[in-house]
Structures are given as structure tokens and as C-alpha cells.
Chains A and B, each alone.
Chain A
Amino acid sequence: MAKGADWSEHAVEVSGATIHTRRAGKGSPLVVLHHDIGTLDSLAFYDTLAETHDVVIPDFPGWGRSPRLEWMRHPRDVAILMQGLRAELGLASSALVGLGFGGWVAAEMAAMAPREVTKLVLVGAMGIKPSDGDILDQAIISYIDYPHAFFHERKSFEALYGNVTTEQLEAWDIAREMSFRIAWKPYMYSQALPHLLGAVKAPALIVWGDDDKVVPVSAAHAFQSALPNARLEIVKGSGHAVEMEKPDELAKLVTPFLDAQ
């Protein structure tokens, strides 16, 4: 496991939005896009990426430390702001790692600006309607049951979140409200996205936990067929949040993929 990287915090102004980001590491630029439940500040997987890359992890507007934008209505709005963030940071082109809901945002970014995304990694990505099964509806389960469902084993959840604080519960409620505000209907997918992904130039690595209870693996196959150059890898003993439950296995897939010419 990697040692903790030296993360710095920045508030970047993009089109009237204040986007809080954490940044660490040296190397080619890599933007990591978080789940619908937001992200913990520190993860071993992030530190590993920062050993070989200039890693930028933004909080989407309305999540974490980034203030809500009342007008935001669709994940595509987030994707455009993330492109704006990359421009503000002077990243001409970069690789993207999208985790769950962040995978949807990453896929939108890769389709809207094909030359600016060098590599695309989608982990348990939302954004496409699964052909078999549905994306788990968080609206009818509690704040804590939904993050529980991100993991194959409860002990993996507990190792990271410990005794969940009331502040964390509130953050999950705010994150859930944001998910509703921008992805309520159809819930957590776009009917247009599969038709747009043919424009993506970047090679793509699709990674799915073999026990993803949030996004059915049929969505992985849909991404694979929609993307011109995509490889699918299934990680054993992992739920939806592969980066939290199997960080080393995920890093072993992602690092060589990003390094390959």
C-alpha cells in the first residue's frame, strides 16, 4: 500500500462555481471523479495514483466542500464544469478515472471533448441503462444502507467509515439530494449517452466488482459495446466501490493501463 501523498487543497472558480479540489503527485495529469455519495478525503487508491500522476480530485458542485448550484439539472452540466476546471488548471489533456456516478461524468467528458481525454477508466459506472437489472434506487433505502450496498463485505465498509458520524449522515443526505436534483428521471442514466460514446477517442478500461449491488454488470457490457476501444475487467470479491474495497487490485489494473503508450 502506498504511503500518504502530500495533498494540497484549492478552490477553483469556474463559470460562477467554486470547485474545491485536492491535488497531489507528479506526472501526467489525472482527474478522479467521485461517487454519488461523495468521497472520503483520503483513500489508499488515491495515494497510489499520486505516486505516478498529477492527481486532481474535485468535489462536484453541491458535494463535499463545493457549494451547490441551484440551476444545475443534469450530470452533463457537471461534466462541462469539470472541463472548465481542467482548463482553469491548465491541463490541456488528461486521463479520467470515474467512480460509479463519477464514471457517468467521465464518459460525458470523453464524448464531448474526445481529443482532451487521453485515457478513460470507468469503475462501476452509472450513466447507461442496464439491459439486465436496474441501478439501485437509493430513494427507498436509508442513508446508511445505500453506502453499505457499495461493498461486497460489511467489514470493508467498516474499515473505512468506522462508526458513521452524524456529520457523515448529513453529508450523505445532501449528496442524495444532489443526485435527485440532477439525475432523478430517468434515474442515474442518460438515454443519449450510449449513442454519443462512439465519439470517444481515448482507450477505455472498464472495471466492475463481481458483486456490484448498485450498478448491474450488464451496464459494463453496454459501455464496452458503446465505446470504440474498451477492455472490461471484473474484480473478484468486490462490490460497487472497487477503489475502496480492492484498492490494490484496482491500482494493478489502472496503473499499467495509464502508463501504456
Chain B
Amino acid sequence: MHLMYFTEQPMSAYDEKAGLDYGATALTFSNKHFDPVEGSRLYNNYLEQYLKVEEVGIDGIMLNEHHNAPFCMQAKTNMFAAILAAVTKKVKIVILGNPLPLAENPIRLAEELAMIDMISKGRLVSGFVRGGGQEQLSAGVNPAFNRERFVEAHDLVVKAWTQPGPFRHEGTHYQHRVVNPWAVPLQKPYPRVWIPGVISKETVIWSAQQRYPYIALNTSIEDTKKIWALYDQTAAECGYESGPENRGYLARIHVADDEATAVKNAREFTWMQGEFTGLAHPVWANPAGYFSPSSRRAFVEFAVGRSQNPRGAMSFEEQLESGMIFAGTPKQVLPRIRHLLEETRPGIMAVWAQDGKVSQKDSLRCIELLGTEVFPQVREWAKELGLNSPFEADSPVHLKYSKDLKTGVVAAE
């Protein structure tokens, strides 16, 4: 089991009333409400949290990025990854992930990641994402080519990492005449790639075709099982048997010394008006061409207010009750984690431990309790249940490095 800590790095000092008055807390909600004095304090708080993560023996730190919104302060995930490469010694630096389609120059991205891998002495896990709809709009990147750019940029980054230069890339969305980066990853054949997602079928299938672990981001147990069924089926078609080493799960878990504090702090998980990414117009999150054509009909009805969000919206109490959020003392949350492990069988688990305006003191205490009282038990159970991480299973970095493919099956591209 690989256990990680995650925070969205919330810009918790923004003026919430201004957001409610404006009716949106994303994309076009003015950055005049961003206070860099508070920003400086918060960035350093998050750095202190990451150092605590290493101190209490947690395996990894999960990082991400978003833009134009208070829910996440990381504008470039490689910045914190680079900082952590220098100031930590043991933790895995798990980027989930770099939004590939946003890159105008994937070679530059390959160089940055190679530098992080070398400086950290091989502790990088380089996840990739499509980026949310709002990220495409904030970056001015065409949402209609999001998936094509994702795949082409991925293939180019991996080629830059694994094939000696110089070579030329004349692709559909990227053209580079002299690819020859003088920074390549320390880890061979290349750093592990994990793919986080919410449920998009195309991404689950693509991940399984690459044999990249898929990290389900706080999906319900029922939806998570559907994801694994699709992943397992695709894996079988590709000639390998998938297991816990292919499965990751991000859970929202806040622990404190007493239940009342834990529940009070956990309520902050809904600080963005109950949405992960804040109040936003539906067409920002799903610009035309970004989502799967199969969901077009349901989406257009939602976008003009004729139907509810197909993803649904639950109150804090409902989320506590249904297990979308765990809150309590370590003893109280452990049985719920056990249930989650038994039901979804992940080999990678990230804990999104707090959000919003949880105090730095409570945040650090939560990390300490996770590291010393929650995760040791989770590790024991993972051993008992055979939930091995990709590191423990020594699974191949990519399908093409597999040595266990069943004969007669044609490997996917």
C-alpha cells in the first residue's frame, strides 16, 4: 500500500461574500480578491504541512494544479514538486497531475519533470491529467482538441524520456524540429505515471491500455467498482491481469483528537459552496468538445438549467453518512477505511485531509494522527488483504515493459 497526503492548497483567505455576490468562484471571479500577503502565509503553511508529512512517515505527497480560482493555490504543480525535491528526503513526489493539453511545449514539461526526478534522486511519480474545462479556458487552449492533445503530448514526453535525441516530431498538435533535451529522468525506463480521474470512461480505458494505475478521485464505492470493472476488462483485452497495483483512491478523511473538532473541520470540505471547484457556470467546466459526445444531451439540458447536475450534489451530512467524507478520531474512521479497502481494493490511497479554513494547528495535528495512528493500521490491513502498491508489486511502468502478457493478445497502441 502506498499512502499519500493531499491538500488542494485552498486560498482560504479570499472574500467569500464577494464570491457569493458575484455568483461564481471560478474562472471569471476577479483575482482582485486574491491577497498576496495571505497567499504568502498560506503557501508557507502548506510547505510546513508537507514537511510534517515526511516527518511522520507518510509515503507520498500528492500535488495538483488549478487556475483562476480560490479552491486551489497551485498554479504550476511542478513548482511545489521542485521545492519538495530539494527539501524532502524520502517521500514520493506524486504529481496528479500535469495537465498535458495545456502544455504548448511538451518537451519543456519533459525537461522540468526530468529535473525534478534527478534532484529528488528518483522520487517522482509523474501523473498526467486532461485538465478541467476551466483550465482550458484560463489557458486559452482549445477544448475541442483536449483529448487529442493529451495523447499526443503524452507520447511525445515519453519518447523524449526514453529515446536518445535528436529526433524530430511532426504531429497534429505539436511540431518540434529538434528534440534533444539535456535533462532526462533518473528513473528507468521512466518515472511511474499514474492517471487520476473522476469517471470518464475514455480515460479509464486509455489508462488500462497503458497499464498506468488509475486514481479514482473520491468517487462513490459503487462508481469506483464500475471503474475497476472497466479497467479490469480492458486489461484482460490487453493481455494482463489488473489488481490493486493498478488502483488508486482519493478519500476525504479528516481526523482530530475528538469527534466534534473533526466534524467541524470536515465541514470545510464543502467550503466551496459544496462543489469541489467552487461555483461555476456548467459550460466552463464542460466547454463544447471537451466532454464525451455520448453525454452531450444530458449536459446541454443541465447547462441551461433544465435538469440537475448529472454528477449530483449531496449535503455535508449526506456525504458523511454515505462515506464520501470520513471525520472523527482515528479509532472512529479506521473501520470505515477498512470497509473502503475491502470494497474497492486499492494499492494506492491518497488522503485529502483538510480543506478551506482549517487552522494550521489542526491541519498539522491531522497529519500527525494520520501518520502515527491511522496509516500504520491501514498498512497492516493492506498486507492482510494483499493490497500491494505498484512499488511493492514491482509492476511494469508501461504495458510495453510487461513480461507477463498472455500470448495471442495484441497489445494496444
Contacts and interface: CB of A to CB of B under 8 A. Distances in A.
Q: A and B, one complex? A: yes
Interface of A: 139-144, 164, 166, 169-170, 172-174, 176-177, 179-181, 184-185
A142 B289 contact: no
Interface stretch (B262-270, B279-287, B351-359, B379-387): B279-287
A142 B144 contact: no
Given A173-B296, A173-B300, A140 B288 contact: no
B191 interface: no
Contacts of B296: 170, 173-174
Nearest to B145: A181
19 contacts: A139-B143, A139-B287, A139-B288, A140-B137, A140-B283, A140-B284, A142-B282, A142-B303, A142-B304, A143-B304, A169-B300, A169-B303, A170-B297, A172-B300, A179-B288, A180-B142, A181-B144, A181-B145, A184-B142
B310 interface: no
Q: Is the interface of A mostly helix, strand, loop or mixed?
A: helix
A180 B300 contact: no
Contact of B140 (A173, A179, A181, A185): A185
Contacts of B283: 139-143
A143 B64 CA distance: 30
B28 interface: yes
A102 B144 CA distance: 21
B85 interface: no
A61 B271 CA distance: 45
Nearest to B136: A139
B27 interface: yes
A101 to B, nearest CB: 15
A164 B143 CA distance: 25
Interface of B: 27-28, 137, 140, 142-145, 281-284, 287-289, 296-297, 299-301, 303-304, 306
B297 A166 contact: yes
Contacts of B282: 142
Nearest to B134: A140
A169 B304 CA distance: 9
Contacts of A179: 288
A184 B144 CA distance: 9
Contacts of A142: 281-283, 303-304
A174 B299 CA distance: 12
Given A177-B144, A181-B144, A140 B289 contact: no
Contact of B142 (A166, A172, A181): A181
Contacts of A169: 300-301, 303-304
A166 B301 contact: yes
Contact of B27 (A140, A164, A172, A176): A140
A176 B300 contact: no
A164 B306 CA distance: 11
A174 B291 CA distance: 12
Nearest to A186: B140
B233 to A, nearest CB: 28
Nearest to B142: A184
B208 to A, nearest CB: 25
A173 to B, nearest CB: 5
B303 A181 contact: no
A140 B304 contact: no
Contacts of A143: 283, 300, 303-304
Contacts of B299: 173
Contacts of A184: 142, 144
A180 B304 contact: no
Given A142-B282, A181-B144, A185-B142, A173 B288 contact: yes
Contacts of B301: 166, 169
A173 B296 CA distance: 8
Contact of B300 (A139, A140, A170, A181): A170
B144 to A, nearest CB: 4
A172 B297 CA distance: 11
Contacts of B300: 143, 166, 169-170, 172-173
A64 to B, nearest CB: 16
Closest 8 CB pairs of A and B: A176-B288, A169-B300, A177-B289, A177-B288, A180-B144, A184-B142, A181-B144, A144-B304
Contacts of B142: 180-181, 184-185
Nearest to B289: A177
A9 B306 CA distance: 34
B144 A141 contact: no
Contacts of B306: 166
A109 B201 CA distance: 42
A82 to B, nearest CB: 22
Contacts of B284: 140
Contacts of B140: 185
A138 to B, nearest CB: 9
A180 B289 contact: yes
Contacts of B137: 139-140
A71 B281 CA distance: 30
A184 B290 CA distance: 13
Given A176-B288, A184-B142, A185-B140, A140 B28 contact: yes
A229 to B, nearest CB: 36
B34 to A, nearest CB: 20
Given A164-B304, A181-B144, 13 more contacts: A140-B27, A140-B28, A140-B284, A166-B300, A166-B301, A166-B306, A169-B301, A170-B297, A173-B296, A174-B296, A176-B289, A177-B288, A181-B145
A185 B142 CA distance: 8
A173 B299 CA distance: 10
B281 A141 contact: yes
A192 B299 CA distance: 37
A185 B301 CA distance: 28
A176 B297 CA distance: 14
- Centre residue among B296, B300, B306 by max chain A CB count within 10 A: B300
Nearest to A169: B300
B251 to A, nearest CB: 33
A23 B27 CA distance: 44
Contacts of B281: 140-142
A179 to B, nearest CB: 8
A142 B305 CA distance: 10
